[in-house]
Structure 1
């Protein structure tokens, strides 16, 4: 799955599953908390949706807060989880 496909799927999860509106265009540099106004509770819900959608396990003890700084850092994290699951 390409970075663009992961970004598209994340946008879909945020808008549909979390019922949170996003700008028409999102970018990897967008900060999750500051730019997209996603709070910590929504991030926890998003982790569950990521596990289901991408069929990966997100190890709670290993998650660095930096993972959730930008959409790009989250995409990279998902790519790493997928690589480890393969």
Structure 2
């Protein structure tokens, strides 16, 4: 799965499950809290959707707040989780 595939799936998850508007031109530099208006509760919900959608488990000790600053950080986090599963 490419970074682009992961990014597109994330944008879809955010739009459909968190019911937030995600403009088509949104890229990896988009900040989750400032640009997409995701709050702390939504971040927890997003983690659940990531686990379900990508078939990964997110161990509590692996959660780095820096991974949730931008979409690109979250894509990299998911890439590491997918690599661990493979």
Per the TM superposition, whether the score is higher than 0.5 is yes
TM-score of the aligned structures, taking structure 2 as reference length: 0.95
TM-score of the aligned structures, taking structure 1 as reference length: 0.95
The match for 2:71 is: 71
Q: Structure 1 residue 18 and structure 2 residue 27: aligned?
A: no
- Any unmatched runs of 5+ in structure 1? none
RMSD over aligned CA atoms reads: 0.8
Structure 1 runs, 4 residues or longer, greater than 3 Å off: none
The match for 1:39 is: 39
**Cα deviation, residue 20, structure 1:** 1.1
- Any unmatched runs of 5+ in structure 2? none
Aligned residues between the structures: 86
